[in-house]
C-alpha cells in the first residue's frame, strides 16, 4: 500500500514538474514566435502528432502489459521477445510513415493554408522515428514497474528540448527561423530521450530476443488502442485545416487566420488543460484499483471510488473558473502579451469542467472494460465539434472552436456518466444538481475576482492586479464550497485513504 502511494506521488510530482516546464516553454515560444508563426508550428505539429500516435500509443501499453505478464509467470524468454517484437514493429512502422510523408510532402500544398508549414513538418520527421524506439523501451520499463526511469527520461527530454531551443533561438533573428529552430530542437530532444531509454534499459540488465510468436500478440493487443487514439488525434490536424480555411473564406488574410488559430490552440488550450495534471494522476490510480475490485466483483466499492473521483475532478477543475473568467483578460497579457488570448480564455473558462469530466469518466470506462463504448461516445462528441467548426466558423469566427470543444466534452462526459450509472446501479450520480451548485458559487466568485482586478488596476501594476484578483476569487470560492458543504478538502483525504485500503 505504501508502495502504491509512493508510486502515485512519484508520477504526480514528475507530471506536474514536466507539465509546468512545458507550460513555461509554451509561453516562451508564444512570445518568441508570435501568434502567426506559433500557428504555423501548430499546423505542422498536428500531422506529426498523428504519426506519433500511430507509433507510440498502443505499443507501449501492449509492451508493458506483456512484460508484466511474463515477469509474473517467470517466462524470461517471452519477456525479452516482447521487447524485440515491439521494437521491430515500431521501427518498421515509423520508417514507412516518415518515408511516405517525405516523398508525398508536396501533397500538403493542397491541404495546409500556408505552405511554410510543410518544411517544419519534414524537419520534425526524425522525432517520429526516435520516439518509436523510445516508446518500446518506455513500455518495457513500465511493465517492470520501473516508474522512476520512465519519469526521469520524460523529464530529461523536456529539459533538453527547452535548453537546446533557447540556445539555438538566441543565435537566430527572423521569426520564421525561430519556427524552424523550434522544429529542429524537437527532433533533437526526441533523439536524446530514445538514446537515454535504450541506455537505461540495458544498464538495468534488460535484454532483447526476437521470436516470431510475439509479433501477433503485440499487434493484436496494440491495434485497437492505436485505432482509438489515432481517431481522437485527428481533431487537431483537421481543425488546423478547417479553421484557417474558413477564416480566410470570410476575409481573413493567411497571416490573420494563422494568428487567430495559433492564439487559440497554442495559448488558450494549454491553460484549459492545466487541471488535467491532477486529474490525470487520479485516473492512473483508478484504473488498476478498479480492475482489482472487478476481479473480486466488489461493485459497491467501485461505485464509491467512481463517485468520489468524479466529485474530486469537478472540484479540481471548477476552482479555475473564478480565475479564468474573472481575470482571464489580464492572464493573457501577463503570460503571452496578447490581448486576444485573454479574451478567448474568459469566453472558454467554463469548459474546464467538461474537459475534466470527459477525461476521468473515460478512464473509468476503460477500467471497466468498456473501451469500445467509450470510443463511440467520443465519436458522438467529435461529430458535434466538427459540425460547429464547419457550420459556425463563418458566423462566429475563432469562437466556433470554443463552442465545438464545449459540445464535444459535454456530450462525451454526459454519455460516459449515463453508461457508468447503468454499469454501477449503486452509483446514483446527480451530476446536474452538483454542477448547478458549483455554478452558484463559481460565477459570483468570478465576478468578485473581476471587480477586484478592476479596482487594483487603478493603482497597481497589471501582474499584481491579476494575481490579487485571482487569489481573491479562488479563496472566496474555496470558502463558500466548504461553508455550504459542497466540497471539503477532507473528502480528498478520506478518498486517498480509501484508495490505499482497497488497493489490490
Do 212 and 252 belong together in one domain?
no
Do 212 and 272 belong together in one domain?
no
Do 464 and 490 belong together in one domain?
yes
Q: What is the mean pLDDT of residues 8-13?
A: 71
Greatest mean pLDDT range, 32-41, 95-104, 270-279, 316-325:
316-325
- Which of residues 221 and 217 earns the better pLDDT score? 217
3-state secondary structure 263-315: HHHHHHHHHHCCCHHHHHHHHHHHHHHHHHHHHCCCHHHHHHHHHHHHHHHHH
Pick the last residue of a domain from 213, 233, 253: 233
Do 37 and 169 belong together in one domain?
yes
- Around Cβ 351, how many Cβ atoms within 10 Å? 24
Do 186 and 245 belong together in one domain?
no
pLDDT tens per residue, range 149-173: 878 888 888 888 889 888 888 888 8
- In the predicted structure, residue 232 carries a pLDDT above the cut 90: no
pLDDT tens per residue, range 172-203: 888 888 888 888 888 998 899 899 989 988 88
* 338 φ, ψ (degrees, to nearest 5): -140, 115
Do 213 and 249 belong together in one domain?
no
pLDDT of residue 235: 72
Pick the last residue of a domain from 218, 233, 248: 233
- In the predicted structure, residue 493 carries a pLDDT above the cut 60: no
- In the predicted structure, residue 84 carries a pLDDT above the cut 50: yes
Pick the last residue of a domain from 233, 250, 270: 233
- In the predicted structure, residue 34 carries a pLDDT above the cut 50: yes
Do 217 and 345 belong together in one domain?
no
- Which of residues 96 and 227 earns the better pLDDT score? 96
Where in the sequence is the domain holding 390, given as residue range(s)? 236-504
- In the predicted structure, residue 21 carries a pLDDT above the cut 90: no
* 204 φ, ψ (degrees, to nearest 5): -95, 35
| Residues 331 and 271: beta-carbon distance below 8 Å | yes
pLDDT band, very low/low/confident/very high, at 495 (cuts 50, 70, 90): very low
DSSP for 93-119 reads HHHHHHHHHHHTGGGGGGT-SSTHHHH
Rounded CA separation 204/318 (Å): 43
Residues of the chain with pLDDT > 90: what percent? 23
Do 284 and 337 belong together in one domain?
yes
- How many folded domains does the chain comprise? 2
pLDDT band, very low/low/confident/very high, at 465 (cuts 50, 70, 90): very high
Do 290 and 163 belong together in one domain?
no
> Worst-scoring range by mean pLDDT, 313-322, 324-333, 418-427?
418-427
pLDDT band, very low/low/confident/very high, at 221 (cuts 50, 70, 90): low
DSSP 226: H
pLDDT of residue 487: 76
- Number of alpha carbons in the 13 Å side-chain half-sphere of residue 190: 21
- In the predicted structure, residue 243 carries a pLDDT above the cut 50: yes
> Worst-scoring range by mean pLDDT, 142-151, 157-166, 301-310, 329-338?
142-151
| Residues 8 and 284: beta-carbon distance below 8 Å | yes
pLDDT tens per residue, range 355-407: 999 988 887 776 676 767 877 888 888 889 889 888 888 888 889 989 999 99
Q: What is the mean pLDDT of residues 254-263?
A: 85
Taken in order 59, 62, 64, 67, the sign of the CA dihedral is: negative
pLDDT band, very low/low/confident/very high, at 450 (cuts 50, 70, 90): very high
- Which of residues 105 and 421 earns the better pLDDT score? 421
pLDDT of residue 504: 40
Closest by CA to 35, choosing from 400, 272, 337, 397, is 337
Do 250 and 228 belong together in one domain?
no
* 61 three-class SS: helix
Q: Containing H/E element for 223?
A: helix 213-233
pLDDT of residue 227: 67
pLDDT of residue 251: 86
pLDDT of residue 472: 96
Do 246 and 369 belong together in one domain?
yes
pLDDT band, very low/low/confident/very high, at 449 (cuts 50, 70, 90): very high
- Around Cβ 182, how many Cβ atoms within 10 Å? 27
pLDDT of residue 354: 95
- Around Cβ 86, how many Cβ atoms within 10 Å? 31
- In the predicted structure, residue 1 carries a pLDDT above the cut 80: no
| Residues 243 and 261: beta-carbon distance below 8 Å | yes
Rounded CA separation 181/167 (Å): 10
Rounded CA separation 137/132 (Å): 9
Instruction: Name the residue with cell 537515454.
Output: 196
> Worst-scoring range by mean pLDDT, 89-93, 112-116, 399-403?
112-116
Do 20 and 70 belong together in one domain?
yes
pLDDT band, very low/low/confident/very high, at 205 (cuts 50, 70, 90): confident
H helices of 104-146, in order, are 116-123, 125-143
> Worst-scoring range by mean pLDDT, 72-76, 192-196, 338-342?
72-76
| Residues 49 and 128: beta-carbon distance below 8 Å | no
pLDDT of residue 349: 94
- In the predicted structure, residue 12 carries a pLDDT above the cut 90: no
DSSP 320: T
Amino acid at each position: 500500500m505504501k508502495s502504491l502511494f509512493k508510486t502515485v506521488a512519484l508520477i504526480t510530482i514528475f507530471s506536474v514538474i514536466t507539465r509546468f516546464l512545458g507550460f513555461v516553454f509554451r509561453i516562451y515560444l508564444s512570445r518568441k514566435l508570435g501568434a502567426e508563426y506559433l500557428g504555423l508550428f501548430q499546423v505542422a505539429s498536428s500531422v506529426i502528432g498523428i504519426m506519433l500516435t500511430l507509433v507510440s500509443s498502443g505499443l507501449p501499453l501492449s509492451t508493458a502489459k506483456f512484460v508484466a505478464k511474463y515477469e509474473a509467470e517467470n517466462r524470461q524468454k517471452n519477456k525479452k521477445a516482447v521487447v524485440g517484437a515491439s521494437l521491430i514493429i515500431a521501427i518498421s512502422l515509423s520508417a514507412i510513415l516518415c518515408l511516405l510523408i517525405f516523398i508525398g510532402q508536396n501533397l500538403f500544398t493542397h491541404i495546409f493554408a500556408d505552405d511554410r508549414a510543410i518544411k517544419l513538418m519534414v524537419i520534425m520527421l526524425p522525432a517520429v522515428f526516435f520516439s518509436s524506439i523510445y516508446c518500446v523501451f518506455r513500455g518495457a520499463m513500465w511493465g517492470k514497474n520501473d516508474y522512476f526511469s520512465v519519469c526521469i527520461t520524460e523529464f530529461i527530454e523536456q529539459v533538453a528540448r527547452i535548453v537546446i531551443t533557447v540556445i539555438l533561438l538566441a543565435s537566430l533573428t527572423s521569426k520564421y527561423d525561430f519556427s524552424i529552430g523550434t522544429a529542429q530542437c524537437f527532433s533533437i530532444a526526441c533523439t536524446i530521450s530514445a538514446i537515454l531509454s535504450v541506455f537505461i534499459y540495458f544498464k538495468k540488465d534488460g535484454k532483447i530476443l526476437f521470436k516470431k510468436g510475439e509479433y501477433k500478440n503485440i499487434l493484436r493487443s496494440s491495434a485497437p488502442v492505436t485505432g482509438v487514439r489515432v481517431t481522437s488525434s485527428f481533431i487537431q490536424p483537421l481543425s488546423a485545416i478547417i479553421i484557417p480555411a474558413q477564416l480566410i473564406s470570410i476575409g481573413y488574410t493567411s497571416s490573420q487566420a494563422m494568428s487567430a488559430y495559433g492564439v487559440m490552440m497554442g495559448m488558450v488550450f494549454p491553460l484549459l488543460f492545466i487541471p488535467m495534471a491532477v486529474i490525470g494522476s487520479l485516473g492512473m490510480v483508478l484504473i488498476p484499483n478498479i480492475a482489482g475490485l472487478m476481479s473480486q466483483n466488489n461493485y459497491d466499492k467501485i461505485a464509491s471510488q467512481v463517485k468520489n473521483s468524479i466529485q474530486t475532478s469537478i472540484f479540481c477543475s471548477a476552482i479555475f473558473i473564478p480565475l479564468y473568467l474573472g481575470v482571464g483578460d489580464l492572464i493573457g497579457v501577463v503570460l503571452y502579451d496578447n490581448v486576444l488570448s485573454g479574451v478567448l480564455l474568459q469566453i472558454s473558462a467554463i469548459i474546464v469542467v467538461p474537459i475534466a469530466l470527459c477525461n476521468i469518466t473515460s478512464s473509468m470506462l476503460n477500467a471497466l472494460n468498456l473501451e469500445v463504448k467509450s470510443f463511440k461516445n467520443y465519436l458522438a462528441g467529435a461529430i458535434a465539434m466538427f459540425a460547429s467548426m464547419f457550420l459556425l466558423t463563418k458566423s462566429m469566427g475563432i469562437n466556433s472552436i470554443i463552442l465545438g470543444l464545449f459540445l464535444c466534452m459535454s456530450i462525451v462526459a454526459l454519455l460516459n456518466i449515463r453508461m457508468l450509472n447503468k454499469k454501477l446501479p449503486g452509483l446514483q450520480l446527480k451530476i446536474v444538481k452538483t454542477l448547478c451548485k458549483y455554478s452558484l458559487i463559481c460565477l459570483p466568485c468570478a465576478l468578485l475576482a473581476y471587480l477586484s482586478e478592476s479596482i487594483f488596476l487603478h493603482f497597481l501594476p497589471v501582474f499584481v492586479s491579476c494575481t490579487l484578483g485571482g487569489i481573491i476569487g479562488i479563496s472566496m470560492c474555496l470558502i463558500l464550497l466548504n461553508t455550504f458543504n459542497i466540497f471539503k478538502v477532507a473528502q480528498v483525504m478520506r478518498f486517498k485513504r480509501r484508495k490505499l485500503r482497497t488497493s489490490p
